[in-house]
Amino acid sequence: MIEVSNLTKKYGDFVAVKGISFTAHSGQVTGFLGPNGAGKTTTMRILTGVMPPTTGTATVAEFDVFEQSMDVREHVGYLPENVPLYRDMTAIGYLKYIGEMRGLTDRKQKALDALERVGLADRAKSRVRALSKGMKQRLGLASAIIHNPSVLILDEPTIGLDPRQVIELRNLIRELGQDRTVLFSTHILSEAEQICDKVVIINQGEIVAEGAPTFLRQDLERGGRILVRTSGDVGDVTRVIQSIDGVDTVDTERDSLIITPVSNNIDPRPAIAQAVVDKGWELVELRQLAMNLEEIFLELTRQEQV
């Protein structure tokens, strides 16, 4: 489990992380999302024991990241965005080397077990330089789990992979998340929606949302965008709807209109339906538009900038 409470990190006068708090539980994959410069990398470095926070606390596997940094490192598996591999080693040789640095016993068997877990058992004797990008990512993941950590922190693990490799690695991450805590950083929002049980969205050093993607969507869809299709002329319908109180913008999308309310607290659907009926047009469709994680992210970060 990961518990972060009022965590702050300053670089001189610049505050990279501003008193954030969140949790990541065992048995689930938690997505850590945010634009460049949001504070993701700084937070992950603190959680892996690389640097201390300025103020606040963070515990990983029940160990304090500042007071018990070495204990944290023993219980965390970390996969950085650029995996540091030795090109002239074999896959199993590299893992045995990692095992030796971690002080593991029975290193060969543990290396073989890790290769089996990531689907690289048949490439145990292959040189790292001969492995594909996807295989190298898997080998990096094997090095992160060789000591059977209770917490995995993965930084952009699927970047640069082809579609098949991405699918395979996503499936593996979901599997690993069944019996440990996984914190998964990505900028690919659709990927987070497919993999993560929960997401934490950070922007400008602050947490702007935390929860399951489904619940975040439901919250933001209240008073969100609305799709309308009628039998009337698109231009005429647009003018009528634009004049309704509570309507901000009306955009055309094929044979439909997409209405954005002025506020999430306003639902103009009853007024839209009444206006269409009063004009004698047939109301073919009137519904709230479902939001994907990308739209949720953009809406939340937009609200922060207003």
H/E stretch holding 30: strand 28-33
**CA 98, CA 220: separation in Å to the nearest integer?**
45
- 45-53 own/partner pairs: CB under 8 Å, 24+ apart: 46/7, 46/9, 46/17, 47/2, 47/4, 47/72, 47/76, 47/153, 47/183, 48/72, 48/73, 48/76, 48/78, 48/153, 49/73, 49/76, 51/9, 53/7, 53/8, 53/9, 53/17
What's residue 84's pLDDT? Answer: 86
Domains of the chain: residue spans and CATH:
2-212 (3.40.50.300), 225-290 (3.30.70.100)
Task: Tell me the per-residue pLDDT of 78-136, one tens digit each, with 9 for 90 and over.
Answer: 998 788 899 999 999 999 999 999 999 999 999 999 999 998 999 999 999 999 888 99
Q: CA 205, CA 147: separation in Å to the nearest integer?
A: 32
Q: Each residue of 173-201: pLDDT tens digit?
A: 899 899 899 998 877 767 777 888 999 98
Task: Round to whole Å and give the CA distance between 237 and 178.
Answer: 51
pLDDT recorded at residue 90: 97
What is the per-residue pLDDT for 208? 86
Q: Is 71 helix (H, G, I), strand (E, B) or coil?
A: helix
3-class DSSP state for residue 113? Answer: helix
Percent of the chain, pLDDT > 90? 58
Token pair recorded at residue 105 = 């016993």
What is the model's pTM?
0.75
| Residue in the structure block whose two tokens are 């590299």 | 94
